[in-house]
Amino acid sequence: MRSNWVLDHFNKVLKKHNAGYFVLIDPEQCEVAKCAKLAREIENAGADAILLGGSFLTNDLHPIARALKEETELPIVLFPGDSMHLTPHADAILYISLISGRNPNYLIGEQVKAAPWIQRYALKPIPTGYMLIEGGNRTAVEFMSGTAPIPRDKPDIAGPHALAAEYLGMQMVYLEAGSGAAHSVPDEMISAVKNQISIPLIVGGGIRTPKIAAEKVEAGADFIVTGNVLEENGSFELMKDFANAIHA
Ligand code: 1GP
């Protein structure tokens, strides 16, 4: 296995706090100067990494990633919608295969196109089984990937998908209700998936309060992602409350 300091960092976070907090920055919503300021706040609030990306990008990723990198010691981890969403100014990339879907392009196609650039840019790839879970509304990732999410009342379907990801050698599983989802991933589904795997579990989409984030951790999430809630009601205090609730 190649050495990967970002994964090592994630493991240290889990040892120290039992669970970790990732803040997602959507490059569409962030100008360069605003992003730089936000990066400092995210670090000071106690988050453990910054995810950068989205399903559909029109903004130039390079200056945004460069600004983030200059302002924070936290790992900058790309969270790409496709193989165009790459920059050398990040540290790592969630090397996602959309395993809940049956669209071959998002299972292996975009990954092949991205691989030589990930190597050229010396990004640390984090092989991740990405599972879309029905979140009550049609999300951008569902539309862009042309895949159907797993029904939210079917943990018995979600569990074997996650287990297959682990057996395929993936390093993490991401349960995604979709950015701005009406409903976050149900606790029962998180527990069912967690019981099937030994690799870390990321949960995101529609998590709007620190209390709900803590419940997801209690249910078995190792890492919580928030994006929209900070764009909508973004405050340093709220970010701190999320970090404290997740680390507790
Ligand atoms: C989306 O899981 C992330 O990919 C975060 O979702 O924007 O709803 O917090 P929100």
Chain segment 53-107, per-residue pLDDT in tens? 988 889 999 999 999 999 999 999 999 999 999 999 999 999 999 999 999 999 9
Cα(167)–Cα(40) distance, integer angstroms? 38
Cα(225)–Cα(238) distance, integer angstroms? 14
pLDDT at 199 over 60: yes
CA of 179 to the centre of ligand 1 (A): 4
Alpha-carbon dihedral sign for residues 32, 231, 29, 176: positive
pLDDT at 31 over 60: yes
CA of 4 to the centre of ligand 1 (A): 25
C-alpha 25 chain-centroid distance: 10
pLDDT at 197 over 80: yes
1 pLDDT band (50/70/90 cuts)? low
User: Which range has the top average pLDDT, 22-36, 191-205, 218-232?
Assistant: 191-205
User: Which of 172, 179, 184 to mutate for ligand 1's pocket (most ligand atoms within 8 Å of CB)?
Assistant: 179
pTM over 0.85: yes
**How many other C-beta atoms lie within 10 A of the C-beta of residue 2?**
6
Q: Which atom of ligand 1 lies closest to the CA of 174? A: 2
Q: What is the pLDDT of residue 35?
A: 87
**How many other C-beta atoms lie within 10 A of the C-beta of residue 247?**
18
CA of 169 to the centre of ligand 1 (A): 25
CA distances to 101, 123, 197 from 152, in Å: 15, 33, 19
User: Which residue spans within the chain are E strands per DSSP?
Assistant: 20-25, 49-52, 76-78, 92-98, 124-132, 172-176, 201-204, 223-226
Pairing state between β 201-204 and 20-25? unpaired
Over the stretch 231-241, which tens digit does the pLDDT of each residue have? 776 689 999 99
Q: What is the pLDDT of residue 193?
A: 98
Any idea how long the chain is? Answer: 248
19 pLDDT band (50/70/90 cuts)? very high
pLDDT at 194 over 60: yes
CA of 49 to the centre of ligand 1 (A): 14
Which residues have any ligand 1 atom within 6 Å of their CB?
24, 176, 179-181, 204-207, 225-229
Summary mean pLDDT of the chain = 96
pLDDT at 17 over 90: yes
